[in-house]
Chain A
């Protein structure tokens, strides 16, 4: 939540935040936006409009517009007359913001979840990535860039299956 400690969240705002968080990600529909960690909060304004703050995974993520439209639809469907989605950059989103449940779903979907961050920087090299198909840790990097900006392409040297890895950011 970006709301400061001195600002209380009303019951309606909490309810709407949960609703916005339950919207599926447009590119990875197995995950909700809440599990992805991109919904920062909902605030009701005095004129009756709801402001949802959303943060992009990557600055150029083309899914952000679809996310905004889906959130607007979900909240207006819940009786909120006007919804405005604001995009914020700070604090920057990190793959550490993906919930444990989100990581489990990614692996189940065949995408190796991101590793937790090492202290040294955004490109960890030490921990191995586990193959989501056979579970082997014997995997190799094919390309740092894959089907979307947030994924890298790897191959399992045990079962030989190529797979996407949600790379650390």
Chain B
């Protein structure tokens, strides 16, 4: 629990949850650097990762030392959604993850920005950035779903594979008490249905949770690939404490 001010209250818990979502998805998107299908997409994914990293820095700084929190915590101390830690997979998997998360984040930040809580200033700023992330994911979903048989098959498979991680998006987060999670989920489902249908696909069926209870990521329980991702993300800082560029 290095770097966490344990005396602080629910605002800390919420900042950690939202900050970890942004940090972990930023790292995953950064893994595309040098591997994206076209140069424009390489730049787009890096730009989205940078926006998320900026959000993560502000949110984690509300909790403690941002570097200690990012690089010295153990797996069980991370509070991010399991969705954002899922591996990049093929490009369709990355887009499905972006679609599920960015629609959620955009709607959540819009709601936080309307309030007067501790997250309103960041949310008012970040909601404008996430509008672009959401648009990016929606445009690619349309293109892949309405593209070739190959792209449609892959997009459908990706939406289905990640569907079981979407229940957790609407588990109430401690410290975000003013959020109407049921209404947020309704807006998310309506937006997803609209995009997916315009892409010539249908929303996956089946449960929106896995064998574990929804909310597991928020409790520090993560999926198998997360430990390996953390090892790569943290090893430089751990091997060379205090190193700087």
- List chain A positions with a Cβ less than 8 A from chain B: 56, 58-62, 88-94, 121-123, 142-149, 153, 167, 169
Supplied contacts A93-B125, A123-B135, 10 more A-B pairs, CB within 8 Å: A59-B51, A59-B57, A61-B54, A90-B121, A123-B132, A143-B40, A143-B43, A145-B44, A149-B47, A149-B50
Q: Are B126 and A145 interface neighbours, CB within 8 A?
A: no
Chain B, 47-90, contact with A by CB distance < 8 Å: what is the 0/1 string?
Answer: 11011111101100000000000000000000000000000000
A97, chain B: closest CB distance, angstroms: 12
Within 8 A of A (CB), among B92-133: 120-122, 124-129, 131-132
B124 contact from A56, A89, A123, A167, Cβ within 8 A = A89
Q: Are B58 and A147 interface neighbours, CB within 8 A?
A: no
The interface residues of chain A, by DSSP majority, are classed as loop
| Chain B residues whose C-beta falls within 8 Å of the C-beta of A143 in the assembled complex | 40-41, 43-44
Q: Are B124 and A60 interface neighbours, CB within 8 A?
A: no
Complex: chain A residue closest to B131, CB-CB? A122
Q: Are B136 and A59 interface neighbours, CB within 8 A?
A: no
| Chain A residues whose C-beta falls within 8 Å of the C-beta of B54 in the assembled complex | 56, 58-61
A62, chain B: closest CB distance, angstroms: 7
Q: Are B43 and A62 interface neighbours, CB within 8 A?
A: no
CA distance A90 to B120 in the complex (A): 9
A59 contact from B129, B131, B132, Cβ within 8 A = B129
CA distance A114 to B132 in the complex (A): 15
Q: List 18 A-B contacts (CB under 8 A).
A: A59-B54, A59-B57, A59-B58, A59-B129, A60-B50, A60-B51, A89-B125, A90-B121, A90-B124, A91-B124, A92-B121, A122-B128, A123-B135, A144-B44, A145-B136, A146-B47, A169-B128, A169-B129
